Amino acid sequence: MQSKRKQVRAFYSAARLLAGLAVVTAAAVMAAGGQKPPALPDLGPNVLVFDPAMPQAAMQAQIDKIYAVEQHSEFGPARYALLFLPGEYHVDVPVGFYTQVLGLGATPDAVHITGKVHADASARNNNATTTFWRAAEGFSVTPAGGTMQWAVSQAVPFRRMHVRGNMVLHQQHGWASGGWMADTLVDGNVDSGTQQQWISRNSEWGSWTGSNWNMVFVGVPHPPAGDWPKPPYTKVDQTPTVREKPFLQVDAKGRWSVRVPALAANSAGITWRGGSTPGRSIALSRFYIARPDRDTAASINAQLARGRNLLLTPGIYDLTEPIRVTRANTVVMGLGFATLRPVSGAAAMTTADADGIEIAALLFDAGVERSPVLLEVGPEGSKASHAKNPIVLHDVFFRVGGAGVGRAQVNLRINSSGTIVDHTWIWRADHGSGVGWTSNTSDNGLVVNGDRVTIYGLFVEHHQQFQVLWNGNAGRTYFYQSEIPYDPPDQPSYTSAPGTNGWASYKVADTVTSHEAWGLGIYSVFRHPNVVLSRAIEVPRKPGIRFHHMMTIALDDKGEISNVIDDKGGPTSITPRTTPRVAEFP
């Protein structure tokens, strides 16, 4: 109780500090003899905008206040974004829960931080397996001591970064459980160490060391030497199609805009080596800036219907109806892990089957009333192609339970063909509040009905039926990480068909004729005895269906996964430790 009171006091102290931030920043500029800066956009009380002219001590105090709130607040309500205007900074930036650190330059090198920017293990014994929901994007770092520590697990974007030194993805070799890197340059070595799994897309480094279960490199010009399974490196030379995540930027005249990167085909390496990332810019004035303390789904939908794009500032948005994205080329972005929570059993967001919609940096949190779906991309029966201008989802995260009871039938359903998903974690909570087989209920993490859907960095865990159900043709997945549910109470509660134990983690429907996936790891942590899973991956035997580099592992001493894919691979076991692997299927 005492620690909770301290956390509440820290929260309100930080809130009071932030309320005066714009005044402090302007005063610092004037004191330094500069011109009055352009007016800052009203991004709400939980967005800090740092200027190089601010006194270093003042900036550090604000950063530390936020970290005091968020260091251990795994399921807390506070959300923050720390934004750095172009220039040089000498500060230490610990990145806690629900904290997004952003550089506002056209390139990462426009914002340079000398000092420690770090994510630390959130559990004891250097254990980072619950270091979730934080981000570093769009700036360069010269790390103190030469090495940047980024000990993280799921739902932690690391994008458009330049590390002027080395980087470690663990904390003193304590466990860490998965992560994401894209459009990033590390001058020195990246050491993955005890990371269980990782995906790097369109990134570059001096060298890479470390491996564990499944490490995937897509569009990486200089991946580490060696091939799966020893070391477990899955390498795809080029990224077939992707659009980088939209980002905020401020030019030399203080004008704010959102950069929407161009669609790239068969790419490798970073987008900004020759300067700014190719694409188009949208003035921030063309966005409706939403605030959780004043906006509802109705007020947001009214602005979208007027043709505005949408920027959701940090906080939790309780929604009595879905946010409806109906116009082609609409950009919807969150700051500071803006969280959408349906409270009346509806979806949190739906989109039209329209070209070029971008949805980025949002956390969808299921409410107590069961939602049929949390995010639906395109209505049922969508038919449009979108080949030249696809719908793209970046850093969209889903949670059922953990912060309280939550219920959903499907978390993410994709009906629109050609959709690209660029990093997602779809999580039915295994710990926290409101957690139990009959409490936080969720059938499926992901259901894909559209054709030609491509996903990079697919993390889906603990749902009660198929984690992934893929009904569309010509789908592609680059990296898949999944823990099946911990908590089936017995085998009858966890049986998908007569003679089949459990529900496969990754299911390709029998009607599908073409599908391909690379780098899959599926893990069991059964908490009750005599519960097993017949197969981790279940697919029809057809020439157009191909899987590359798959493995399973039992992380606890109960139950087993009997096969990796269909009837291939054999069972997991603890004694002796058996980790089945299948290189190619069929």
Catalytically annotated residues: 483
Give the integer Cα–Cα distance in Å for 127 and 556.
17
Question: Which residues, in sequence order, are bridge partners of residue 394?
Answer: 360, 422
Query: For residues 407-425, b (16+ Cβ closer than 10 Å) or e, as one string?
Result: bbbbbbbbbbbbbbbbbbb
DSSP string spanning 403-449?
BS---EEEEEEE-STT-EEEEEEEEE-SSSBS-STTTS-EEEEEEE-
Burial class (CB in 10 A: 0-12, 13-18, 19+), 182: buried
Query: Residue 109 carries which side chain, given as an amino acid letter?
Result: D
Tokens of 79: 């959300």
Please choose, from the candidates 37, 22, 21, the residue with its C-alpha nearest in 3D space to the C-alpha of residue 253: 37
Cα–Cα distances (Å) from 422 to 99, 184, 270, 447, in that order, read: 20, 15, 15, 16
Tokens of 421: 């998903």
Query: Are 140 and 105 a contacting pair, CB within 8 Å?
Result: no
Tokens of 81: 């974004």
Cα dihedral: 288, 292, 293, 299 (round 10): 50
Give the integer Cα–Cα distance in Å for 440 and 432.
11
Q: Verify cis geometry, omega within 30 degrees of 0, for the bond prior to 246.
A: no
Cα–Cα distances (Å) from 494 to 95, 429, 490, 511, in that order, read: 39, 17, 7, 24
Tokens of 130: 């619950």
According to DSSP, the β-strands at 93-94 and 117-118 are parallel
Give the integer Cα–Cα distance in Å for 165 and 205.
10
Give the integer Cα–Cα distance in Å for 565 and 389.
34
Give the integer Cα–Cα distance in Å for 113 and 141.
5
CB atoms within 10 A of CB 372: 14
Say which residues have a Cβ less than 8 Å from residue 82's Cβ, sequence separation at least 6. 48, 50, 63, 66, 93, 99, 100, 101, 102
